C-alpha cells in the first residue's frame, strides 16, 4: 500500500485514487455538493482554499489545499 501526502500531514491510499481534479468546474462542484449531502466528503484543507478534489473508488471525495499537479507528482513519484 502506497500512501501519499495530500496536505497538512494527511495521507490517503494511492491505490484508491481514481481522479484528481480542480474544483472550479460546475460538474466537480456538483459532485462535491452531492457527496456532502451523502456524507462522503473528507475535507483536509484545514480551512484553506480547496485547490484539488480527489475522487476515490469508494465514492468518497477528498478536498485538499494542495495543487492537483503537486498531488499528481507525488502519486507518480517512484519509491
For 28-70, the pLDDT digits (tens) are 999 999 999 999 999 999 999 999 999 999 999 999 999 999 9
Residue 34 CA: distances (Å) to CA of 8, 28, 31, 53: 25, 10, 5, 14
Parent domain of 9:
3-76
pLDDT at 79: 62
pLDDT at 77: 87
**How many domains does the chain fold into?**
1
For 14-39, the pLDDT digits (tens) are 999 999 999 999 999 999 999 999 99
Amino acid at each position: 500500500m502506497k500512501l501519499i501526502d495530500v496536505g497538512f500531514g494527511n495521507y490517503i491510499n494511492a491505490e484508491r485514487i481514481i481522479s484528481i481534479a480542480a474544483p472550479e468546474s460546475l460538474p466537480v462542484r456538483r459532485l462535491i455538493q452531492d457527496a456532502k449531502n451523502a456524507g462522503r466528503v473528507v475535507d483536509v484543507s484545514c480551512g484553506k482554499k480547496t485547490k484539488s478534489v480527489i475522487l476515490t473508488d469508494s465514492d468518497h471525495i477528498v478536498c485538499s489545499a494542495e495543487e492537483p499537479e503537486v498531488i499528481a507528482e507525488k502519486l507518480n513519484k517512484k519509491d
